[in-house]
Amino acid sequence: MSSGLVNPVCLERVADACGGKLIGDPAATVFSVSSLEDATPDSLTFMVDSSKLAENHGINPGVILLKPEDSGLFSGPRIVVADPYLAYATVSELFATGFKEIGVHSSAVIDPSVSLGSNVRVGAHAVIAAHCQLGDGVSVGANTVIERDCSVGADSVIDSSVTIYTNTRIGMRCRISSGAVLGASGFGYAPDGHSWRRIEQLGGVRIGDDVDIGANTTIDRGTIGDTLIGHRVKLDNLIHIAHNVKVGDDTIMAACVGIAGSADIGKRCRIGGRSSINGHIIIVDDVVLHALAFVTKSITVVGEYTSAVPAQPARQWRRTLAHLNRLDKLVERIKKTGNKND
């Protein structure tokens, strides 16, 4: 169970937020969210699947979000909704303890040419360089650096210790987690006969609205044009997105994905953790990559793709590997055997 500050929320507000029907006292309050098994009279919980109830009988939540057909299973305060999990997602933000005091910390260094919207928050030791534009309600965390000529759309939250290079444009309502680096120089070199000649990366990064970017994820700036992240894209932690990549709207990527330069990923794709996508690959809309998929050719047909090998006992895998590395000889032998029989 988590500790920390709590935030009382009345049941009427919960029901309003998720559009559900409240059965119970609208003025009663809950203080936190809990799983079904940890439910207490002070917490809100939710039930997606009533078969889970058997192992949790006797629970007494402050309020429970549940489906119409399950409403009769509880006599206490409840909110009836079509999709309890989505309703839980929707109301979860009511319980976030908001620390975002308005105002600019006196230790922040903000160039006089920066344009700040209303209700902007800038944390201690943040640095915002010349000609940046921050929209209304933007929050910038402590020790974050925003270099020249960047813009951040209204109500976006840049957490602490983020680094944003020159010429990065971020949409509205985005959330950038700590350690993320946006707009670093892409990896571009031309061979000069002896070694590698650096190609100056002259483009920027453009990020749509409602984009989330995870901790320590890196998105390089474009070589000539911009690296493009569409609207509502969700990126987990430790993802690498190289220069000139395009990611379509509503695409979601789990942690540790790596995408090489100029790859063009469609809309509504779901990219599993630790997937790798080669440079200049095109992936159409609605493709699903399972975890650890390694995409080496463009994907033109919607579907699920994979290439990962699940772990197994080491001895067994060693035997399989040995067979795999002798497949050549095996095939040879079969051909011989086959021929004898033909």
Tell whether residue 90 is a contact of a copy of itself (CB under 8 A).
yes
Beta pairing partners, 228 = 206, 246
Footprint of a copy of itself on 198-227 (CB under 8 A): 198-200, 202-204, 210, 212, 214-216, 218, 220, 222, 224-226
Q: Alpha carbon of 33 to those of 24, 29, 100: distances in Å?
A: 18, 12, 21
Which stretch, 50-58, 68-76, 112-120, 229-237, contacts a copy of itself (CB under 8 A)? 229-237
CB of 70 or CB of 226, closer to a copy of itself? 226
Q: How far is the CB of 78 from a copy of itself (least distance, A)?
A: 19
Q: How far is the CB of 266 from a copy of itself (least distance, A)?
A: 14
Amino acid at 285: D
* Phi and psi angles of residue 223, each rounded to the nearest 5 degrees, phi first: -75, -50
Task: Show the CA angle centred on residue 175, arms to residues 170 and 180, nearest 5°.
Answer: 80
- Burial class of residue 31, CB neighbours in 10 A (0-12, 13-18, 19+): middle
Tell whether residue 297 is a contact of a copy of itself (CB under 8 A).
yes
CB of 21 or CB of 319, closer to a copy of itself? 319
> Is the Cβ–Cβ distance between 119 and 135 less than 8 Å?
no
Q: Which of 85, 102, 113, 136 binds a copy of itself (CB under 8 A)?
A: 85
Which stretch, 55-63, 67-75, 114-122, 297-305, contacts a copy of itself (CB under 8 A)? 297-305
Tell whether residue 75 is a contact of a copy of itself (CB under 8 A).
no
- Please name the residue that has the structure tokens 């033909």: 342
Catalytic member of 243, 280, 290, 323 = 243
Tell whether residue 284 is a contact of a copy of itself (CB under 8 A).
no
DSSP symbols for 99-157: ----EE-TT-EE-TT-EE-TT-EE-TT-EE-TT-EE-TT-EE-TT-EE-TT-EE-TT-E
Tell whether residue 56 is a contact of a copy of itself (CB under 8 A).
no
Tell whether residue 258 is a contact of a copy of itself (CB under 8 A).
yes
Tell whether residue 57 is a contact of a copy of itself (CB under 8 A).
no
Q: How far is the CB of 330 from a copy of itself (least distance, A)?
A: 7
Tell whether residue 238 is a contact of a copy of itself (CB under 8 A).
yes
* Phi and psi angles of residue 172, each rounded to the nearest 5 degrees, phi first: -90, 150
Tell whether residue 89 is a contact of a copy of itself (CB under 8 A).
yes
Active site residue 243: yes
Footprint of a copy of itself on 19-48 (CB under 8 A): 32-35, 38
Footprint of a copy of itself on 156-175 (CB under 8 A): 159-161, 163, 165-167, 169, 175
Which stretch, 52-60, 70-78, 114-122, 287-295, contacts a copy of itself (CB under 8 A)? 287-295
Q: How far is the CB of 19 from a copy of itself (least distance, A)?
A: 12
- The residues, any chain, with a CB within 8 Å of residue 155's CB and separated by 6 or more, are 135, 136, 137, 138, 172, 173
209/173 Cα distance (integer angstroms) = 6
- Burial class of residue 247, CB neighbours in 10 A (0-12, 13-18, 19+): buried
Q: Which of 51, 55, 75, 314 binds a copy of itself (CB under 8 A)?
A: 314
DSSP symbols for 175-206: EE-TT-EEEEPP--EEE-SSSEEEPP----EE
Tally Cβ neighbours within 10 Å of residue 140: 31
**Enzyme catalytic residues:** 243
